[in-house]
Amino acid sequence: MEAARILDEHRRFVGTLDRPEEAQRELLGRILGLNAETAFGREHGLGKVRTVDDLRAAVPIRTHEALMPWIERTMAGERNVLTADDPLVYFSSSGSTGREKHIPIT
């Protein structure tokens, strides 16, 4: 039942409010673990990332344009590229510069 799942998630979230840093580290670990074997994860060594500083070193900030080859692969139907979850939809934005931007939503 969806309502029970939402209530369980709410309880879990409320239980983390007194330890936000620990909760964020746990969440980062779960996200990295789930996505370490994606094409992006393998290329950036996400399986070895343990800290936020490790993540910063492994995945530098980049423009949307630099991410487009990865996004285009998912749009073409390739799975397990950026995330282990398939995108459900792509939002698009004209943005203020460059070509149309596609934002995958999982």
Query: Looking at the structure, do residues 16 and 49 belong to the same domain, yes or no?
Result: yes
State the total domains in the chain: 2
pTM of the model: 0.82
State the pLDDT at residue 77.
Answer: 96
Contact 26, 12 (CB under 8 A): no
DSSP β-bridge partners for residue 90: 104
Range in 6-20, 51-65, 89-103 the model is least confident about: 89-103
Domain C-terminal end among 37, 58, 79:
58
Query: Looking at the structure, do residues 52 and 77 belong to the same domain, yes or no?
Result: no
- Does 82 have pLDDT greater than 70? yes
Query: Looking at the structure, do residues 23 and 39 belong to the same domain, yes or no?
Result: yes
Burial class (CB in 10 A: 0-12, 13-18, 19+), 99: exposed
Query: How many percent of the chain have pLDDT more than 70?
Result: 96
Distance CA 99, CA 96 (A): 9
CA distances from 57 to 31, 45, 49, 54 (A): 17, 10, 9, 5
Domain holding 87, by residue range, is 64-105
> Confidence band (pLDDT; 50, 70, 90) for 69?
very high
